[in-house]
Amino acid sequence: MKVLRSVKFRLTLSYAFILTLFLSAFALFMREELSRVLYADKDKQLVEESVRLMRPLESYFDGIFLSEPKPASENSRQLLYILPREIRQSLYDRIEAWEKTNRMLSRSTLMVRFVHTNHSLFVSNLKGWEREIIFPNFERDSAFMETGKSFQTIHFQKKPIRLYYQLVEYEGRPLFVLQIGAPIHEIRSTLQRLSLIIGISIPGLVVAACLAGWLLAKRSLRPIDSMIRKAREITMADLKSRLPRTHTGDELDRLADTLNEMLERIENSAKSIRDFSSNISHELKTPLAIIRGEIDLALRRSRSPLDLIQTLRVIEEEVNELIRLVDDLMLLLKSDAKQLRLEKQNQKLEDILQQTADRFRERAAHKNIRLEVFIKQPAAVVGDSLYLKRLFSNLLDNAIKFTPEGGSVTMTQNRTPDNQVRVEVADTGIGIEPELTEKVFIRFFRTDQARAHEGSGLGLNIANAIAEAHGGKIQLKSTPNEGTHVFVFIPLRQSGA
């Protein structure tokens, strides 16, 4: 049953059916065409024989009807006008003399009869076979009565004979009927042998073709069996294995390439999940450990109300940190699932930048950092103000966090020639190594210098997700110990939007 459900079996069965259909149709067409040609050639042979016999005989008809008036009936052919007995005898004598002189009938390889219109036979080369063969009545042949010519098929001793009837006329008078026959059993035997050959050869050819097709399909689909065996060996514990390729560039090779690309994505996703689980557990472990330590400390000994309030404030800060972490993760999950819902409206981006900067001025002043906003060109965008504020808040948070006391942080808004607004967030902080500038957008990634500061490593990733949700992008350029420049590009609002 497993073989019957296999692709090889279905391909072979389909191939056998189509091959049988085409071979049968071709064989039937060839047999019918051969039959038509053979019978047409036989009919042509009969007609040519009648012309050969009648051409030299026409001169013998002169002088027979000198005393006989031409029949008045215009339907002499249909009525088969019967000649007077004297004229019939004269015609018989002349044809007999013609045959003795030329021996045309006796030398003919076909059956030839000259029959009067009253059905009496007067010349034939059949000799003693006349009584054995039953010839049809030509008066009952509608084609003969209308055209004076007709073909019929009779049987003698179970063998078919093809007959050609022709009415011979002279000056509008029907003289006699020329009957020419030829056996056609050889044609039928040939067609029967051909049918037998077709009946035997087609099944044999189909069986041989099916066997070849099965072997070919088995060989062609062998790489799939190898891929199946290899795929069964791949588990979550070992995603580095890849499916074997045929290196032929065919469909199976492209299938292996596609599946290997999918395995690579699965491997990367699994690695991301493991890294995510490790990072999130680490991020959750620290605040939870602090909370647990504060609770244990409060429970071990009696504490004053002021100490308890201080403990609760520490717990509150850590809980808020956990809530921010969960909110960040939820935002990223929605972004990954393309379910980040933005309430987009027309926004003046310079207002958002000023409002965001105002929230950080106290914190910047606390570190003696100069925070400035420069609006070189106003810009209107279509976006969600809350998410845009979060984007620039994350960038300002990083800039102030990694800028030492006495430094500066600036936000500069300008337009680009390609109808975008560019916001540059620049600081004079610790900077980032050039080889790490791409990695800082990876979730939970933090440089060695950044680990000395608070944070989860999600800020830039969230900012990039918000920018992409607005049809924009983020670029970063940094020099160690000199500072970092983050460029945010967002499409301008189209006129009329």
Instruction: Give the largest CA-CA distance in the chain.
Output: 164
For residues 127-131, give the mean pLDDT.
Answer: 63
Residue 315 binned pLDDT confidence (cut-offs 50, 70, 90):
confident
Cβ(412)–Cβ(374) below 8 Å: yes
The amino acid occupying position 332 is L
One domain for residues 332 and 353 = no
Which residue among 312, 336, 360 closes a domain? 336
Whether residue 66 is predicted with pLDDT greater than 60 in this model: the reply is no
Mean pLDDT check: name the lowest of 34-43, 306-315, 386-395, 480-489.
306-315
In a domain, 235, yes or no: no
Do residues 403 and 481 share a domain? yes
**What average pLDDT does range 464-479 have in this prediction?**
89
Domain co-membership, 158 together with 264: no
| pLDDT of the residue at 83 | 64
CB 369 within 8 A of CB 400: yes
pLDDT value at residue 65: 58
Asked whether residue 274 is domain-assigned, the answer is yes
Residues 13 and 34 in one domain: yes
Contact, 458 vs 481, CB < 8 A?
no
* Residue 39, pLDDT score: 92
Among the residues of 130-221, which ranges form H helices?
142-147, 185-220
pTM of the entire structure? 0.48
Burial class (CB within 10 angstroms; exposed 0-12, middle 13-18, buried 19+) of 121: middle
The pLDDT of residue 164 is above 70: yes
* pLDDT at residue 122, as a whole number: 76
Residue 485 covered by a domain:
yes
Same domain? 355 vs 435 = yes
pLDDT at 241 > cutoff 50? yes
Give me the mean pLDDT over the 316-327 stretch. 76
pLDDT value at 487 more than 90: yes
Residue range 105-117: mean pLDDT, rounded:
78
Q: What is the overall mean pLDDT for the chain? A: 80
d(CA 165, CA 494): 94
The mean per-residue pLDDT over the stretch 350-370 comes to 91
| pLDDT exceeds 70 at position 140 | yes
The pLDDT of residue 145 is 84
Q: pLDDT band at 446, cuts 50/70/90?
A: low
Local confidence band at 79 (pLDDT 50, 70, 90 cut-offs): very low
pLDDT of 78 reads 44
pLDDT 10s digits, 200-216: 988 888 888 888 888 88
Give the least confident one: 220-229, 369-378, 385-394: 220-229
- CATH code at 182? 3.30.450
Cβ contact 203:211 at 8 Å: no
Q: Given this model, what pLDDT does residue 488 score?
A: 93
H or E element at residue 181: strand 173-183
Do 11 and 60 share a structural domain? yes
pLDDT at 172 (0 to 100):
72
381-409: pLDDT as tens digits: 998 888 899 899 889 988 898 898 989 99
Give the list of residues 6+ apart from residue 457 with CB closer than 8 angstroms, or none: 279, 443, 444, 445, 446, 450
Domain that holds residue 417: 345-491
What is the C-alpha separation between 348 and 397, in angstroms, rounded? 22
* Residue 336 or 434, more confident: 434
Give pLDDT, residue 370: 92
**Out of 85-94, 193-202, 255-264, 429-438, least confident range:** 85-94
Same domain (yes/no): 328, 351: no
At residue 280, does pLDDT exceed 70? no
> Which segment of 75-89, 157-171, 302-316, 391-405 scores lowest on mean pLDDT?
75-89
Query: Which CATH number fits the domain that encloses residue 405?
Result: 3.30.565.10
- Final residue of a domain: which of 169, 190, 211? 190
Q: Which of 257-266, 340-349, 445-454 bottoms out in mean pLDDT, i.e. has the lowest?
A: 445-454
Number of domain units in the chain: 3
| Cβ-defined contacts of 163-167 (< 8 Å, 24+) | 163/46, 163/135, 163/136, 164/43, 164/46, 164/47, 164/50, 165/138, 165/141, 166/50, 166/54, 167/77, 167/80
- Check whether residue 363 and residue 453 sit in a common domain: yes
314 and 360 share one domain:
no
What is the pLDDT, as a whole number, of residue 90? 72
Instruction: Determine contact, residues 83/70, Cβ cutoff 8 Å.
Output: no
Q: Which of 93-107, 188-202, 309-323 has the lowest mean pLDDT?
A: 93-107
| Backbone φ, ψ for residue 161 (5° rounding) | -130, 130
DSSP secondary structure, 63-82, as one string = TTTSSSPPPS-TTHHHHTPP
Considering the domain architecture, whether residues 302 and 427 belong to the same structural domain is answered as no
Q: How confident is the model at residue 76 (pLDDT cuts 50, 70, 90)?
A: very low
126 plus 93 within the same structural domain? yes
Rounded distance between C-alpha atoms, residue 42 and residue 153, angstroms:
12
Q: What is the mean pLDDT of residues 72-88?
A: 56
Which one is predicted more confidently, 69 or 29? 29
Written as one letter, the residue type at 117 is: T
At 290 the three-state DSSP class reads helix
Mean pLDDT across the stretch 421-448?
A: 80
**Which CATH number characterizes residue 326's domain?**
1.10.287.130
